[in-house]
Amino acid sequence: MSLTDATPAVRSSRQVRLRTPAARTCAGGVLVALAIALAGCSSIKGGDNANVILGKQAFVAKCGSCHTLARAETKGSVGPNLDEAFRADLAEGLQRSAIRGVVEDQVKIPNPEGAMPKDLASGAILADIAAYVTQSADAPGKDTGLLATAVQAPGAGKPAVEAGGKLPIPASPSGQLAYVTNKATATAGSVTIEMPNMSGVMHNIAIEAGEGGATAKGTPIGASQFVSKGTATLKVSLKPGAYTFFCQAPGHRAAGMWGTLTVKP
Ligand code: HEC
């Protein structure tokens, strides 16, 4: 599924949300529906002390598996691409500062018919997330300074090495659509791949012959069960050569959840 082809229902849910009195009053300062405005704006005001570093970490952990946001290097495709969504809103005249309210409203009251779960974040953490999205959505360039190192680059951990027939390849604990490493080595024979996953996002691990990269090449040699909290295991018998390990959850491999396994004689 391409990130841009969000269904009309998805697009219209945001259009409706943007026209709620709270969002409009906060953005334009129009003195209507004061009670709603106060309720809607107090959380936005609280966001002035927001910590965007914690916000980035929480966005990656709680939102990035479903949403693409270039600055956060997340590539989820279940929900709308937030750079594209807010680019459209900004072009239509939404003030950047009003993005906070839109994000907070969406997290507090997601569309009941949509795929976005309720109660993902609240309070200070939600304010932090909303502040980070506000400064990042459709913002050119890359995060710098402390923000740049707030989250480890996906797959950048030390290569996984098989020992005694066991090969540990953990899923990224930060919720990124990645394993901690995109490189692994093993010796030929029977190998049990273990994938601890503490992220809360559903993942598995599958193996395919050859260096397939981000797109599938043929039928997997084997695939583990899916887990969101726990350890998935996969036992395979491997000949020397190059293999690709990857997650079979929709969109995860394309988002970067794959790596290369080199099997030596
Ligand atoms: C399990 C997947 C999933 C997760 C996790 C998720 N979302 Fe969503 N999100 C969606 C879907 C699907 C939609 C579109 C349907 C809807 O409005 O509910 C959406 C819509 C949105 C929108 C409106 C965008 C638009 O174009 O209308 C925003 C903003 C948003 N999400 C922010 C967040 C934030 C912030 C988090 C983390 C706290 C988050 N989402 C976590 C799936 C998800």
pTM of the model: 0.79
Residues 40 and 128 in one domain: yes
For the domain that residue 182 is a member of, what is the CATH number? 2.60.40.420
Residues 51 and 139 in one domain: yes
CB 223, CB 198: distance < 8 Å: no
For the domain that residue 30 is a member of, what is the CATH number? 1.10.760.10
Residues 248 and 121 in one domain: no
Residues 60 and 171 in one domain: no
Mutation pick for ligand 1 pocket among 14, 65, 66 (CB with most ligand atoms within 8 Å): 66
Task: State in Å: Cα 126 to ligand 1 middle.
Answer: 13
Q: Closest ligand 1 atom to the C-alpha of 126?
A: 38
Residues 136 and 186 in one domain: no
CB 114: neighbour CB atoms within 10 A?
Answer: 15
CB 151, CB 60: distance < 8 Å: yes
Last residue of a domain, one of 148, 177, 196: 148
CB of 9 closer than 6 angstroms to any ligand 1 atom: no
Last residue of a domain, one of 148, 183, 198: 148
Last residue of a domain, one of 126, 148, 170: 148
Residue 77 inside a domain? The answer is yes
CB of 199 closer than 6 angstroms to any ligand 1 atom: no
Q: Whose CA is nearest to atom 15 of ligand 1?
A: 114
CA-wise closest residue to 194 among 242, 238, 155, 227: 227
Handedness of CA 35, 40, 42, 48 (dihedral sign): negative
> Which residue would you say has higher pLDDT here, 18 or 58?
58
Range from 2-16, 38-52, 224-238 carrying the lowest mean pLDDT: 2-16
Q: How far apart are CA 227 and CA 239, in angstroms?
A: 27
Tell me the pLDDT tens digit for each residue of 75-118. Answer: 999 999 999 999 999 999 999 999 999 999 999 999 989 889 99
> Which residue would you say has higher pLDDT here, 170 or 40?
170
Question: How many domains does the chain contain in total?
Answer: 2
CB of 18 closer than 6 angstroms to any ligand 1 atom: no
pLDDT class of 49 with cuts at 50, 70, 90: confident
Residue 154 inside a domain? The answer is no
CB of 252 closer than 6 angstroms to any ligand 1 atom: no
Residues 113 and 170 in one domain: no
Residues 24 and 77 in one domain: yes
> Which range of residues forms the domain containing residue 137?
8-148
